[in-house]
Structures are given as structure tokens and as C-alpha cells.
Structure 1
Amino acid sequence: MKTARTLIVSAVFVAVAVGVAVWLYPQMPARVATHWGVSGQPNGYSPRFWAATMWPLLIAALAVLTVTLPRISPKRFEMESFAGVYGVLMLVIQGVMLVLGVTAMLAGAGHAVPMATIAPLGVGVLLIVLGNYMGKLRRNFFVGIRTPWTLASEAAWERTHRLAGWVYVLAGAAMVVLGLIGAMAGWMLAAVVVVLLIPHVCSYFIYRRLEGHHSSEGDSP
């Protein structure tokens, strides 16, 4: 996706977030719920101003990063080869943040919204989309499974991201199902986080299998 189109979509997301914030601001109490546990009960609060502005600012910051990161990528790790995929992923992230932000502002203003359902659904859909695009990412310093071993080897990067694609899709699908049936619990969320770390750990073993063990300088031949 071209940069201009990406920026236009980002601008629309920011405008929607700002519009919702302006609409709901008078309805918000002095201290607004901005964090919820897996049960859907609020467990964190912020002043009304920050509760209304944090989501538009977050989406705007993501839009700035979308444009900035490719421009500061070092040589041999340029992002032009997968610019379209990168643009789509950044917009999906912004879109999910918009959904979560609107939901959070509605809940903070006293409207009845099922945070315990919408939050895992949003994150689950995001993981599924990320998983489907993982295999199209190329080596870079900003998106993907960036470990010393994936950055050192193109083959290790590709194999690790193929694995990550399946892991992310499965984890996302699990979150969607748990959100729909209202069964999300703290230990389940922790399990999903652990599962998402699997590709990072496996990248070392993939690298060793593909590249072999190289003796460090000074070792005996």
C-alpha cells in the first residue's frame, strides 16, 4: 500500500478517535476507567483528559512510526521489498487500537459495553492477521521475530516466520473463541503469551540447524 494511501487511512482513524473523544468527554467522570481485568472489571483509572486523548494520540503515534521506520532502516535491512505488507499490518494495528479505544471510551463514559468480549476478540483478530502475513516479512529491525539468529540468517528468518505464522494464527483463534464464549481467564491469557514466545526461542535452534555451529575466533581448528 502506498504511503499516501496509508496516511489517508491513518488520518481517518485519528479523526474518528478524536470525534468519539470529543463526543464522550462531557459524559466522563473526573477519573475514568482505562484498564480492565480479564473478567471485564475495571482495575485502573486515569484523569478524564488522558482517558479521552490517549487513544487518538496512540493511533497518531503509530501513523508517524508507519512512515518513519522505513526511512531510518539501515542498509541491507531496507523495508521496500515488503512495503505493502508493512503498510497493511500497521493499518490493521491502528484499526484494532481504534476499536479498543472507542470501546474503552464508551465504557469510561458509563455506556454498557462488553470489554471482556471485545478486547480478546480485537487482539485475537490482530494475531490472526499478523500470522497470515508473517511469511511475507523480510529481515528488518522493526517488525517480525527479531532475534540475533533471525537477523543473522535469511534462511533462519524465513523458517522462523513460517513457524510464527502458524503460532500467531492458532493463538489468535484461541483468543477469539475464548472471547466469544466468555471464558477468558488470567491463566489462559498467560498461556497465550507463552505460546507467542515460542518462535523467539525456536529461532535459535532453527539457526543452529541451518547454519551449524561456527567455532569462535581463537578456537582450535
Structure 2
Amino acid sequence: MNNRPIPTLLWFITALPFVYLTYRYPGLPEIVPIHYGPDGAADAWAHKAWLWLIPVALPLLSLLLLTRFIPWIDRSDNVEKMGSKYDRLSFGLTAITSVVATYVVYEAGEEQLGHLNFLLVLLGLLIAFSGNYLQVMRPNKYVGIRTPWTLKSDKIWAKTHRLGGKIWFAGGIAMMISGLLLPGRFTAIVLVMALVVLMGIPTWYSWRLSQDEDHDSQYFV
């Protein structure tokens, strides 16, 4: 179990979108968009008080899940054994989600989302950063590529995460480049394609490894 204090800098980063929303809140209209369609146009509205859920659901929840809840419920201590690698992963993911939350607050009140390219770059950064650490992720039930086949075999877990980490890193870089080069209207298309590749290939690969493993075990029986 991780009983170490959460670094002050990480609390500061987590607090940034709360501070920014506090600053912006008085000048926002009472009713603000809370959901946007694939084209970036608002399609759902609610009272501006709902905006407080954004920094709660993104950086604060990420911080508490990664630094407290997951290490606490990981009875095998595999997450804790990652040591400084897991600490850097927690720090990076919390920092990126804090930037995303700040961006969402910045766009609050707008009928049309601007800077969709910037959002794609941020998401690409998040995925590339995660992919860099997937390759060294120890087997556990809470963080990583959790398929029925990776959870039943440490060998399949390791191979899937080595490949998945490379795919996520490359996919994240590709998303960042797309965000810098393509018009904002392509954001939704790029996101869908990225999700299919990033989730589909590692899932298929873990299943394929399981089939090969079952075949080998039957052969030697």
C-alpha cells in the first residue's frame, strides 16, 4: 500500500483548473454548453455549476485513483513494485488531465468549440505518454490492457503490453501530428480511427497469444 504523501507540486497542478474556473465563473452565463457534437457544435446545455465536475472528474479523480485507490486495492503490490516509474506515470497523467480540464473551462460558454486541433494534440500526448509506460507495466487487475487473456497469463500480459505500448506511443505521436497539420473538422475522424487501432490491435494480439498458448499446451499433453 502506498502511504507516501502526495507531492505538493502535484496538488498544485491538480488545483489549476479549480483556480481558473473560480476566476472565470462570475463572468460565465448561467446556462452553458456541457456537450459538443463531432463538429464541435454545442448540443446540450446545463447550469454553469455543472462545470465544477470537470476538474473533479479529470485531475482530482486521476490523482486520487492513481496515488491512493489503485495502490490500496492492489493486494499483489505489483503497482507499488514499479516504484518511480509508477510515480512518473501518476504525475504525467494527472498533469495532462489537468491541462485538458483547464482547456474545457477555457472553452466554457462557447457555442462552438475552438482549438479542436489543440485538444487532439493533448489527447495524443496523453496516449503517447501512457504508451511509454505500458511496456513496463506489471501484471495487475486495475491499470493496463486488461483483457480476459492478459489477466490469466503473465506471459501474455508482458507480450501484449510490449506491443501495445509501442502502438500507443506511435498512435499518440500520430494524433499530435494530425492535430498540428489537419483542419479541426477531422478531429472526430482521427479520434475514432485511433481508438479502433489502439484498442483493437492489443485486444486481438492478446487473444492470438492465448490461442497459440492453448495450442502448445494441447500439443504437449
Coarse TM-score class (shorter-chain normalised): 0.7 to 0.9
Distance 2:113 2:98 in 1: 15
Structure 2 unaligned residues grouped into runs of 5+: none
Q: Which moved more, 1:40-49 or 1:155-164?
A: 40-49
- Asked if the contact 2:127/2:171 (under 8 Å) is kept, the reply is yes
Partner of 2:55 in structure 1? 56
Q: Which moved more, 1:185-194 or 1:204-213?
A: 204-213
- Asked if the contact 2:40/2:113 (under 8 Å) is kept, the reply is no
Structure 1 unaligned residues grouped into runs of 5+: 216-220
TM-score normalised according to structure 2 size: 0.84
Partner of 2:70 in structure 1? 69
Report sequence identity in percent: 25
Partner of 1:191 in structure 2? 193
Partner of 1:36 in structure 2? 36
Partner of 1:79 in structure 2? 79
Partner of 1:102 in structure 2? 102
Per-residue CA deviations over 1:173-220 (Å, capped at 9, x if unaligned) read 2211221123324333211111011101210111332454656xxxxx
The letter for the 2-side match of 1:133 is Y
Q: Secondary structure at the match of 1:34?
A: strand
Q: Secondary structure at the match of 2:135?
A: helix
TM-score normalised according to structure 1 size: 0.84
Distance 2:194 2:14 in 1: 30
Q: Secondary structure at the match of 2:40?
A: coil
- Asked if the contact 2:124/2:175 (under 8 Å) is kept, the reply is yes
Change (3 A) 1:185 1:214: same
Distance 1:126 1:5 in 2: 24
Q: Report the alpha carbon displacement of residue 7 of structure 1 after superposing the two structures with TM.
A: 4.2
The letter for the 1-side match of 2:196 is V
- Asked if the contact 2:34/2:46 (under 8 Å) is kept, the reply is yes
Distance 1:20 1:79 in 2: 33
How many residues align structurally?
Answer: 213
